[in-house]
Structure 1
Amino acid sequence: MTASTHTFGTSGFVPLDDGRRLHYMERGTGGPVVVFESGMGFSRSTWGLVQPAVAGHVRAVVYDRAGTGRSDPDPRPRTLERIAGDLGALLTALGPGPFILVGHSWGGPIVRVAAAADPDRVRGLVLVDQSDENCDLFFTPATEKRHRVMRFALPPVARLGLYRLLGSKPGRVQPADVVTDHRAEDFTPRAVGTMLAEMAPFPGELRGLRDRPPVLDGFDVSVITGMRSTRLTASTRKAITAAHRRTAYALPNGRLVEASKSGHLVMFTEPELIVGEILRMLG
């Protein structure tokens, strides 16, 4: 662990059994420990408005999944079980817990699977506009076509620097040092390769969750859903919110939280809502 004046605090690495290392940063003291999981293909650098606020109360940890940020790549397929296993190894290295796990987008299924694998060390989950298996839109030919287009188009767009130019704009509301890392690490050909590796098993993994939902009965779960849409995205947003509502209401300790000013990127537009749910669980 090295000293740092970075917004996210100090930086360290967790060695995994196969020789890979996961990079993480932490700030604050006390528990439960809050660990943040980013969306598909993204590093720790999407939590710049949330983690520091939580760190004023407890120990708060952001990390880079394999192949993102400063973590080593993974040569094996990036299945949900594989990714959640890496998260589990990180949690073990961080201590006994208890933990509150916060997952955005694809990070939602990841933290759910990791929590179900070792529920005794989890206090609660905050799912931020998660990829939800109850949304039928994820299984349509249109979604499959969109993924094919992304596999074809994103690599050259990243090589030309256009992905960074266009994709990094929402995250510029974060602190300057986080923005610097975000722009340098999250829009490169390497980052795109990681995103596509995570995307490859995505439909099958969601179907698996739909058929065999993780058991989350023992702790609080907050499902935050973005409510804001454009005319072009209104039907999609309505379907996603309906899926989030179904997920929240099916859980014994589930809670639906509507982010009225946000679309998908709630951590940039209403970070205080996420912080509030975390502090409620710390209560």
Structure 2
Amino acid sequence: MPPQPHRTAHDPAGDPPLGRLHDVAGRRLMLHRAGAGAPAVVFLPGGGLVGLDFLDVQERAARFTTSVLYDRAGTGWSDPVTLPRRPGEVVEELRALLRAADVPGPYLLVGHSLGAFYARRYAQLHPGEVAGLLLLDPGHEDMLGYLPEEAAALNEAMRLDPERLPELTDEQLRAAREQYAQLYAAWPEPVREALTEHHLATWRTGVRETLNFDTEVYDELRHGGGLPDVPLTVLGATGRNAYWARFASEELMRAAHDGIRALHAAIAASVPRGEYRVVEGASHQYLHVEHPDAVVEAIRDLLDRAALDRAA
């Protein structure tokens, strides 16, 4: 079955609980901004996440600069589109959205997981519009070269087909609602409730978004050129991966985590002003929710370094 356009499970008007919809190239895209100042911080969600998953760190960053979160097409409250998509397409869409919302560059791009690919691709395509990069537990096109052979084979075996995944049971839905209630306890109640129901209705989206890693994403980034000489920070999560634990031994997981740490250090070392920071105990999916202080501190530091660039 070919990939299907993703649709939200909210009211027919598709109004988000926060932010507004902007018309971009015939599609409506959700963007929420707060704060004032430059460079603007722009959050690029990981696969299966949406802009409002980053509300806590977005609001904290808004205390000292313009802070923006958004939903790319096919996710969140933005219009549906066939998934997966090429990174360059996602980048040009975000660029057009920022212009439509009158958010001037350059930008500090905060990319999480899949969003880190898109942040790096933005920097490859439009280096003059990027003031800095913050990559939250990013993947990379050369990741398999850093993992033990058994982990690479296991990664292949764990691939999911979103169209073959069964529906969630009532028990799973109840458990998920309880987990989301704890995870997003600091979110305003209307946002928390809408975000929870959205995730429960569209949980296959994260799998769909990553179906083209091997066929398009990796190749486009690998041959897209180097990154600009801007401040870059990589925040790496060290928490135990519960999904891996279902398939791998403790020894293999330790070796895989060591490989990912080496990869993240290499990403930071790939640019003159790269820095690698470890966030102890953080999970891959929710580093920014569990450890918002680490994310906000990294944003502040990158903005300070970008200010030095402007003053030079």
CA contact (8 A) 1:112 1:216 kept: yes
Residue of 97, 100, 106 corresponding to 1:98: 106
Q: CA RMSD in A?
A: 2.7
Q: Which moved more, 1:42-51 or 1:104-113?
A: 42-51
- Residue aligned with 1:53, SS: helix
Are residues 1:222 and 2:247 paired?
no
Structure 2 length-normalised TM: 0.77
Are residues 1:234 and 2:246 paired?
no
Residue of 180, 186, 195 corresponding to 2:199: 186
Partner of 1:130: 138
Deviation at 1:51, TM superposition (A): 0.8
Partner of 1:269: 290
- Residue aligned with 1:47, SS: helix
1:9 to 1:71, Cα distance in 2 relative to 1, 3 A: closer
- Residue aligned with 1:21, SS: strand
Partner of 2:279: 259
Task: Describe the superposition over 1:149-203 as per-residue Cα deviations: whole angstroms up to 9, x where unpaired.
Answer: 55522x512x758367337367334423342232021221xx2343233121122
Aligned mates of 1:236, 1:249 — CA distance in 2: 20
CA contact (8 A) 2:162 2:208 kept: no
Give % identity.
27
Deviation at 1:269, TM superposition (A): 1.8
Partner of 1:59: 66
Amino acid at match of 1:262: A
Deviation at 1:223, TM superposition (A): 0.7
Instruction: Give structure 1 regions of 4+ aligned residues with deviation exceeding 6 angstroms.
Output: none
1:105 to 1:234, Cα distance in 2 relative to 1, 3 A: same
1:126 to 1:242, Cα distance in 2 relative to 1, 3 A: same
Residue of 136, 152, 156 corresponding to 1:140: 152
- Residue aligned with 1:29, SS: coil
Are residues 1:176 and 2:188 paired?
yes
Amino acid at match of 1:12: R
Structure exhibiting the larger radius of gyration computed from Cα positions: 2
Q: Which moved more, 1:205-214 or 1:194-203?
A: 205-214
Q: Which moved more, 1:205-214 or 1:79-88?
A: 205-214
1:215 to 1:205, Cα distance in 2 relative to 1, 3 A: same
Aligned mates of 2:133, 2:174 — CA distance in 1: 31
Give 1 or 2: higher strand fraction.
1
Deviation at 1:122, TM superposition (A): 1.1
Which residues of structure 1 form unaligned runs of 5+? 1-7
1:80 to 1:46, Cα distance in 2 relative to 1, 3 A: same
Structure 1 length-normalised TM: 0.85
Partner of 1:15: 23
Residue of 295, 298, 301 corresponding to 1:280: 301
1:213 to 1:117, Cα distance in 2 relative to 1, 3 A: closer
CA contact (8 A) 2:87 2:220 kept: no
1:249 to 1:55, Cα distance in 2 relative to 1, 3 A: same
1:53 to 1:129, Cα distance in 2 relative to 1, 3 A: same
Question: Aligned pair count?
Answer: 271
1:164 to 1:225, Cα distance in 2 relative to 1, 3 A: farther
1:281 to 1:9, Cα distance in 2 relative to 1, 3 A: farther
